[in-house]
Chain A
């Protein structure tokens, strides 16, 4: 697709069809998240114990996948240069460090006090 706009886009530009597929996948992943939630909270659901114990990692993986899809395709990072990806990834790393550190430190604090 040729556009007169001046940014240096990569040559791999997603098609409209790709975008539709991404939308469907995002919807499905969301449905899976809610399904996992239901399985964890209703004893009558299959795999109730397994999902109940692993709900947090399962949700993290599913939501991370959604996050990555929106970032790479809708926000165009996959086709754009590495600079923009680093501009996003680096703060995310610091953000994760801050979240994890605060949870660990405050939990440890609770234990001590």
Chain B
């Protein structure tokens, strides 16, 4: 027992891998991060002195489509993880690629949306709506981007054959982060776009 350091079967007090506990602890912390951003958005809702208001510029169909894409990406990464755990390399690579593509699409949609709003006169400092909206969705988008980078790195590893079943945990950790980012959007979408 004293010689076991970091084997493939870690003997932890809870039986759960350290990295899995760690990502959940980090996710718990991130809940407070996004709670603060969302609170501020809600506190300043309707308090803008001037400038474009949500009703003037939101494009619900586009955002709804992006929401659906992000939701499906969570489904895809579950399938990818399933593939990794079974040693099904093709399944892993296919679904992980699709996950990354969905993530890229979502970021692209956000970038397009931001540009569109900017051209309609909503800058970061234009009014409280602009500030709280861009900072909230911008931080979320940054988290999505970091997730895309993380998943892409794993995709490269998967293609190289470096994610056998005993290393599926690496993907599981990234997937948990990815699901969390999706879950945050599940809150942001109605709160920001639909509750008006």
Contacts and interface: CB of A to CB of B under 8 A. Distances in A.
B120 to A, nearest CB: 20
B32 A1 contact: no
A7 B19 CA distance: 11
B68 A3 contact: no
Contacts of B42: 99, 102-103
Most chain B beta-carbon contacts within 10 A, residue among A22, A62, A66: A66
Interface of B: 8-10, 14-17, 20-21, 24-25, 27-29, 31-32, 34-36, 38-40, 42-43, 60, 64, 67-68, 71-72, 74-75, 77-79, 82, 85-86, 165-166, 168-169, 172, 175-176, 179-180, 182-183, 186-187, 189-191, 193-196
Nearest to A71: B183
19 contacts: A3-B165, A4-B165, A5-B168, A16-B82, A19-B78, A26-B75, A30-B64, A34-B194, A37-B194, A56-B195, A59-B191, A63-B189, A67-B183, A84-B21, A88-B28, A91-B31, A95-B32, A95-B34, A102-B42
A106 interface: yes
Interface of A: 1, 3-8, 16, 19-20, 22-23, 26-27, 30, 33-34, 36-37, 41, 55-56, 59-60, 62-63, 66-67, 70-71, 74-75, 80-81, 83-84, 87-88, 90-92, 94-96, 98-99, 102-103, 106
B74 to A, nearest CB: 5
Contacts of A94: 31-32, 35
Contacts of A103: 39, 42-43
A74 B179 contact: yes
A107 to B, nearest CB: 8
A1 to B, nearest CB: 7
Contacts of B78: 19, 74
A91 B32 contact: yes
A102 B39 contact: yes
Main secondary structure of the interface of B (DSSP, over half): helix
Contacts of A66: 71, 186
Contacts of B77: 74
B189 A37 contact: no
Contact of B71 (A23, A88, A98): A23
Contacts of B196: 41
Most chain B beta-carbon contacts within 10 A, residue among A6, A22, A27: A6
A8 B14 contact: yes
Contact of A3 (B32, B168, B182): B168
Contacts of B35: 94-96, 98-99
Q: Which 6 pairs show the lowest CB-CB distances between chains A and B?
A: A8-B15, A95-B35, A91-B28, A23-B75, A59-B190, A6-B9
A4 B8 CA distance: 9
A98 B71 CA distance: 27
Given A1-B86, A7-B15, A81-B16, A19 B75 contact: yes
